[in-house]
């Protein structure tokens, strides 16, 4: 495959899914592929990435738990 655009989009998707999967498993303990995939697709469909929402990026705070954390973050 010589299409660099397609390769970049595939790479972005795989990295996004890997991050989602790892974070989902740490937060829920659920490792079932079908369950994770269902949530990932729901996330992709329901997330707004328009310019207005992206401009509010300063209000976004992402907590990535460390391996030794045993509590879930306060998302609110």
The C-alpha torsion from 17 through 58 and 64 to 39, rounded to 10°, is: -40
54 domain residue, yes or no = yes
Nearest CA-CA partner of 35 in 64, 69, 43: 43
Give the number of domains in the chain.
1
Each residue's pLDDT, cut to its tens digit, for the chain (76 residues) gives 678 999 999 999 899 999 999 999 999 999 999 999 999 998 888 887 777 777 766 666 656 666 666 555 555 4
Q: Is residue 14 part of a domain?
A: yes
d(CA 66, CA 59): 22
Three-state SS at 11: helix
Predicted local confidence at residue 35, as pLDDT: 94
Q: Is residue 70 part of a domain?
A: no
Who contacts 28 (Cβ-Cβ below 8 Å, separation ≥6)?
none
């Amino acid at each position: 495959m010589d299409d660099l655009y397609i390769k970049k989009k595939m790479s972005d998707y795989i990295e996004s899914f890997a991050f989602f999967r790892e974070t989902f498993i740490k937060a829920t303990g659920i490792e079932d592929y079908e369950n994770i995939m269902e949530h990932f697709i729901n996330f992709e469909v329901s997330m707004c990435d328009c310019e207005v929402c992206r401009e509010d990026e300063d209000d976004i705070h992402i907590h990535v738990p460390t391996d030794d954390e045993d509590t879930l973050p306060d998302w609110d």
